Homo-oligomer: A and B are copies of this chain.
Protein backbone atom coordinates (compact mmCIF):
# COMPACT_ATOMS: atom_id res chain seq x y z
CA UNK A 1 0.00 0.00 0.00
CA UNK A 2 1.19 3.45 -0.75
CA UNK A 3 1.53 5.95 2.08
CA UNK A 4 0.21 9.27 0.77
CA UNK A 5 1.52 12.70 1.81
CA UNK A 6 4.97 11.84 3.07
CA UNK A 7 8.50 12.75 2.07
CA UNK A 8 11.32 10.61 3.37
CA UNK A 9 14.37 12.83 3.57
CA UNK A 10 16.93 10.31 4.67
CA UNK A 11 17.28 7.43 2.35
CA UNK A 12 20.14 5.03 2.11
CA UNK A 13 21.59 5.13 -1.37
CA UNK A 14 23.56 2.39 -3.10
CA UNK A 15 27.25 3.31 -3.46
CA UNK A 16 27.82 5.75 -6.30
CA UNK A 17 30.69 3.71 -7.75
CA UNK A 18 28.41 0.69 -8.15
CA UNK A 19 25.90 2.70 -10.17
CA UNK A 20 28.66 4.17 -12.28
CA UNK A 21 30.00 0.76 -13.16
CA UNK A 22 26.60 -0.81 -13.77
CA UNK A 23 25.79 1.93 -16.30
CA UNK A 24 28.42 0.61 -18.66
CA UNK A 25 26.88 -2.87 -18.80
CA UNK A 26 23.45 -1.74 -19.90
CA UNK A 27 20.03 -3.01 -18.91
CA UNK A 28 20.11 -6.40 -20.68
CA UNK A 29 23.31 -7.59 -19.05
CA UNK A 30 22.33 -6.24 -15.63
CA UNK A 31 18.90 -7.83 -15.88
CA UNK A 32 20.49 -11.20 -16.69
CA UNK A 33 23.03 -10.75 -13.91
CA UNK A 34 20.17 -10.33 -11.44
CA UNK A 35 18.51 -13.58 -12.52
CA UNK A 36 16.10 -12.02 -15.02
CA UNK A 37 14.07 -9.91 -12.63
CA UNK A 38 13.63 -6.22 -11.87
CA UNK A 39 12.89 -5.09 -15.40
CA UNK A 40 10.32 -2.43 -16.21
CA UNK A 41 7.77 -3.11 -18.96
CA UNK A 42 8.98 -2.52 -22.53
CA UNK A 43 6.57 0.39 -23.07
CA UNK A 44 9.14 2.53 -21.23
CA UNK A 45 11.16 4.18 -24.00
CA UNK A 46 13.89 6.85 -24.04
CA UNK A 47 12.79 10.22 -25.45
CA UNK A 48 15.97 10.53 -27.49
CA UNK A 49 18.49 8.02 -28.86
CA UNK A 50 21.84 7.24 -27.31
CA UNK A 51 21.16 7.76 -23.62
CA UNK A 52 22.61 5.16 -21.26
CA UNK A 53 22.73 5.99 -17.56
CA UNK A 54 22.63 4.56 -14.06
CA UNK A 55 21.98 6.25 -10.76
CA UNK A 56 20.39 5.92 -7.35
CA UNK A 57 16.63 6.13 -7.14
CA UNK A 58 14.70 9.02 -5.67
CA UNK A 59 11.11 7.79 -5.95
CA UNK A 60 7.94 9.79 -6.45
CA UNK A 61 4.29 8.80 -6.34
CA UNK A 62 2.10 11.10 -8.44
CA UNK A 63 -1.65 11.50 -8.80
CA UNK A 64 -3.12 11.34 -12.36
CA UNK A 65 -2.75 14.64 -14.22
CA UNK A 66 -0.89 16.23 -11.28
CA UNK A 67 2.87 16.85 -11.15
CA UNK A 68 3.05 18.64 -7.80
CA UNK A 69 5.22 15.99 -6.19
CA UNK A 70 7.93 16.31 -8.85
CA UNK A 71 8.69 19.73 -7.37
CA UNK A 72 8.81 18.24 -3.91
CA UNK A 73 11.11 15.51 -5.22
CA UNK A 74 13.52 18.04 -6.74
CA UNK A 75 14.64 19.10 -3.26
CA UNK A 76 15.55 15.50 -2.36
CA UNK A 77 17.80 14.98 -5.37
CA UNK A 78 21.54 14.53 -4.87
CA UNK A 79 24.17 14.33 -7.54
CA UNK A 80 24.01 10.94 -9.22
CA UNK A 81 20.33 10.27 -8.60
CA UNK A 82 17.76 9.04 -11.09
CA UNK A 83 14.20 10.11 -10.30
CA UNK A 84 11.64 7.29 -10.64
CA UNK A 85 8.01 8.39 -10.86
CA UNK A 86 4.86 6.27 -10.66
CA UNK A 87 1.25 7.44 -10.93
CA UNK A 88 -1.69 6.07 -8.92
CA UNK A 89 -3.62 5.42 -12.10
CA UNK A 90 -2.65 5.03 -15.75
CA UNK A 91 -2.07 8.41 -17.36
CA UNK A 92 -0.14 9.61 -20.41
CA UNK A 93 -0.18 13.34 -19.64
CA UNK A 94 3.06 15.28 -19.96
CA UNK A 95 4.06 15.55 -16.28
CA UNK A 96 7.60 16.68 -17.02
CA UNK A 97 9.12 19.22 -19.37
CA UNK A 98 11.89 21.72 -19.89
CA UNK A 99 11.53 23.64 -16.62
CA UNK A 100 11.57 20.62 -14.36
CA UNK A 101 14.33 19.15 -16.54
CA UNK A 102 16.41 22.26 -15.98
CA UNK A 103 15.78 22.05 -12.25
CA UNK A 104 16.50 18.33 -11.94
CA UNK A 105 19.70 18.74 -13.94
CA UNK A 106 20.79 21.67 -11.77
CA UNK A 107 20.22 19.51 -8.67
CA UNK A 108 22.46 16.77 -10.10
CA UNK A 109 19.90 14.24 -11.35
CA UNK A 110 21.04 12.04 -14.23
CA UNK A 111 17.65 11.09 -15.64
CA UNK A 112 13.95 10.70 -15.04
CA UNK A 113 12.09 7.41 -15.38
CA UNK A 114 8.35 8.08 -15.40
CA UNK A 115 5.43 5.70 -15.91
CA UNK A 116 3.46 8.47 -17.64
CA UNK A 117 4.06 11.12 -20.31
CA UNK A 118 6.84 13.63 -20.91
CA UNK A 119 6.91 16.82 -23.03
CA UNK A 120 9.33 19.47 -24.30
CA UNK A 121 11.29 16.65 -25.88
CA UNK A 122 13.20 19.02 -28.15
CA UNK A 123 14.40 21.18 -25.25
CA UNK A 124 15.21 18.19 -23.04
CA UNK A 125 17.27 16.75 -25.88
CA UNK A 126 19.11 20.03 -26.25
CA UNK A 127 19.98 20.31 -22.56
CA UNK A 128 20.84 16.60 -22.51
CA UNK A 129 18.53 15.44 -19.78
CA UNK A 130 17.33 11.92 -20.68
CA UNK A 131 13.87 10.67 -19.81
CA UNK A 132 12.37 7.19 -20.11
CA UNK A 133 8.58 7.43 -20.32
CA UNK A 134 5.52 5.53 -21.49
CA UNK A 135 4.38 8.40 -23.71
CA UNK A 136 5.26 11.76 -25.17
CA UNK A 137 2.43 14.24 -24.69
CA UNK A 138 2.08 18.02 -24.75
CA UNK A 139 -0.76 17.71 -22.22
CA UNK A 140 -0.02 19.73 -19.09
CA UNK A 141 -0.81 18.87 -15.49
CA UNK A 142 -2.08 20.61 -12.36
CA UNK A 143 -0.68 20.89 -8.83
CA UNK A 144 -3.55 20.00 -6.48
CA UNK A 145 -3.21 16.63 -4.78
CA UNK A 146 -0.51 15.13 -2.59
CA UNK A 147 1.45 12.02 -3.47
CA UNK A 148 4.68 10.99 -1.78
CA UNK A 149 8.44 11.08 -2.19
CA UNK A 150 10.91 8.31 -1.37
CA UNK A 151 8.44 5.57 -0.61
CA UNK A 152 8.61 2.22 -2.44
CA UNK A 153 6.78 2.59 -5.76
CA UNK A 154 5.70 0.29 -8.57
CA UNK A 155 6.92 1.89 -11.78
CA UNK A 156 6.07 0.19 -15.07
CA UNK A 157 5.40 -2.96 -13.01
CA UNK A 158 8.84 -2.98 -11.33
CA UNK A 159 9.08 -2.43 -7.58
CA UNK A 160 11.58 0.35 -6.80
CA UNK A 161 12.81 1.33 -3.35
CA UNK A 162 14.51 4.67 -2.72
CA UNK A 163 18.25 4.23 -3.05
CA UNK A 164 18.09 1.28 -5.47
CA UNK A 165 20.22 1.48 -8.59
CA UNK A 166 18.38 2.26 -11.82
CA UNK A 167 20.07 1.25 -15.09
CA UNK A 168 18.49 2.60 -18.27
CA UNK A 169 19.38 2.44 -21.94
CA UNK A 170 17.85 1.70 -25.34
CA UNK A 171 16.88 -1.84 -24.26
CA UNK A 172 14.87 -0.71 -21.23
CA UNK A 173 15.06 0.14 -17.54
CA UNK A 174 16.09 -2.22 -14.78
CA UNK A 175 16.04 -1.71 -11.00
CA UNK A 176 18.83 -3.25 -8.92
CA UNK A 177 18.00 -3.34 -5.21
CA UNK A 178 20.58 -1.51 -3.14
CA UNK A 179 21.52 -4.68 -1.25
CA UNK A 180 22.06 -6.57 -4.49
CA UNK A 181 24.08 -3.93 -6.31
CA UNK A 182 27.54 -5.24 -5.46
CA UNK A 183 26.70 -8.86 -6.26
CA UNK A 184 24.97 -7.82 -9.46
CA UNK A 185 28.03 -5.86 -10.55
CA UNK A 186 30.19 -8.88 -9.96
CA UNK A 187 27.83 -11.16 -11.87
CA UNK A 188 27.55 -8.68 -14.73
CA UNK A 189 31.32 -8.39 -14.95
CA UNK A 190 31.70 -12.16 -15.17
CA UNK A 191 28.89 -12.45 -17.67
CA UNK A 192 30.38 -9.78 -19.88
CA UNK A 193 33.81 -11.42 -19.92
CA UNK A 194 32.16 -14.67 -20.84
CA UNK A 195 30.18 -13.04 -23.63
CA UNK A 196 33.23 -11.52 -25.26
CA UNK A 197 34.68 -14.97 -25.81
CA UNK A 198 31.45 -16.30 -27.14
CA UNK A 199 31.04 -13.37 -29.49
CA UNK A 200 34.40 -14.11 -31.07
CA UNK A 201 33.56 -17.75 -31.59
CA UNK A 202 30.16 -17.00 -33.08
CA UNK A 203 31.63 -14.33 -35.35
CA UNK A 204 33.93 -17.00 -36.78
CA UNK A 205 30.91 -19.05 -37.80
CA UNK A 206 30.83 -21.54 -34.90
CA UNK A 207 27.24 -22.45 -34.13
CA UNK A 208 25.59 -21.92 -30.74
CA UNK A 209 24.45 -25.54 -31.13
CA UNK A 210 28.07 -26.61 -30.82
CA UNK A 211 29.42 -23.88 -28.59
CA UNK A 212 26.69 -24.47 -25.99
CA UNK A 213 26.67 -28.25 -26.68
CA UNK A 214 22.91 -28.26 -27.30
CA UNK A 215 22.70 -31.10 -29.80
CA UNK A 216 22.22 -33.92 -27.28
CA UNK A 217 19.66 -32.07 -25.22
CA UNK A 218 17.69 -31.18 -28.33
CA UNK A 219 17.76 -34.80 -29.47
CA UNK A 220 16.66 -35.97 -26.04
CA UNK A 221 13.80 -33.48 -26.17
CA UNK A 222 12.72 -35.14 -29.40
CA UNK A 223 13.89 -32.76 -32.12
CA UNK A 224 13.76 -34.41 -35.52
CA UNK A 225 15.64 -33.31 -38.63
CA UNK A 226 13.84 -33.90 -41.92
CA UNK A 227 15.65 -33.83 -45.25
A 135-152 binary contact with B (CB < 8 Å = 1; else 0): 111111011111000001
Q: Of B42, B121, B139, which contacts A137 at CB under 8 A?
A: B42
CA distance A102 to B195 in the complex (A): 11
Number of interface residues of A (CB under 8 A): 99
Residue among A1, A52, A152, A198 having the largest count of chain B Cβ atoms under 10 Å = A1
CA distance A163 to B45 in the complex (A): 35
Residue among A28, A152, A172 having the largest count of chain B Cβ atoms under 10 Å = A28
At the interface, yes or no: A31 with Cβ under 8 Å from chain B? yes
> Given A37-B2, A93-B64, A159-B152, do A74 and B28 touch, yes or no (CB 8 Å)?
no
* Copies of this protein in the complex: 6
- A224 near B93 with CB under 8 A, answer no
At the interface, yes or no: A174 with Cβ under 8 Å from chain B? yes
Report A25 CB to chain B, min CB distance, Å: 11
Q: Output the nearest chain B residue to A45 by Cβ-Cβ distance.
A: B136
CA distance A68 to B145 in the complex (A): 14
Q: Which B residues are CB-close (under 8 A) to A89? A: 65, 91-93, 137, 139
Between A and B, 8 residue pairs with Cβ closer than 8 Å are A1-B175, A5-B221, A6-B225, A31-B138, A68-B218, A72-B214, A74-B208, A142-B145
